[in-house]
Chain A
Amino acid sequence: DGGITQSPKYLFRKEGQNVTLSCEQNLNHDAMYWYRQDPGQGLRLIYYSQIVNDFQKGDIAEGYSVSREKKESFPLTVTSAQKNPTAFYLCASTLGLGTVVGNTEAFFGQGTRLTVV
């Protein structure tokens, strides 16, 4: 079955550490996204990528980095510069380039809950 797989489901980070969250999709989607979810705030866009080897900052990119070396993979690194990283992180993908398909729905992974210890 096609879908998006995020791993790990739970992740614990010590102060000052970088951690990487994995996101893989086998839907053959061009666009991939990372969102952060905090209670009562909905989802906020961190980074997105429309095609391989290209990505753009979202609304809250500070303290995060991404790469898009393969179409199916879009890992997110939470760096030590992110002062409040404890949150639920969601990866999503859409079928085509955003300029063409504004009405296409996003498919979501099951999320990674990151906790600073």
Chain B
Amino acid sequence: AQSVTQLDSHVSVSEGTPVLLRCNYSSSYSPSLFWYVQHPNKGLQLLLKYTSAATLVKGINGFEAEFKKSETSFHLTKPSAHMSDAAEYFCVVSDLDTSGTYKYIFGTGTRLKVLA
């Protein structure tokens, strides 16, 4: 079965410095991968998704992620953090279950803190 591991539960960066949120996955086939962002007491918003096209995926708000099959990674990056980026981020893999239905497997989340 597919799984996803977010390597850091908390990340703190200073405003204007780069952001790196790490995600590793396991999959027996070519997966679809997503990053979502959640602000406090809100729903989840899609940042970007990888679906076997270009390995470098650009998303909203200046975020991007690179799919590296050899490393089974899908790390999220941003060149310069903004205060409004403070939120929780989820890495998600799309999993085909035994009934032939796709379900979404969520990582446990990384809380990003941006320091002024």
Contacts and interface: CB of A to CB of B under 8 A. Distances in A.
Given A42-B107, A103-B49, A108 B90 contact: no
Contacts, number: 64
Contacts of A2: none
30 contacts: A4-B43, A6-B43, A41-B108, A42-B108, A42-B109, A43-B106, A45-B104, A48-B101, A56-B99, A56-B101, A58-B103, A88-B41, A90-B44, A92-B44, A98-B101, A99-B102, A102-B94, A102-B102, A103-B32, A103-B49, A103-B51, A103-B52, A105-B34, A106-B44, A106-B46, A106-B104, A108-B44, A109-B43, A110-B42, A111-B41
Interface residues of B, number: 26
Interface residues of A, number: 30
B96 A102 contact: yes
Interface of A: 4, 6, 33, 35, 40-45, 48, 50, 56, 58, 88, 90, 92, 98-99, 101-103, 105-111, 113
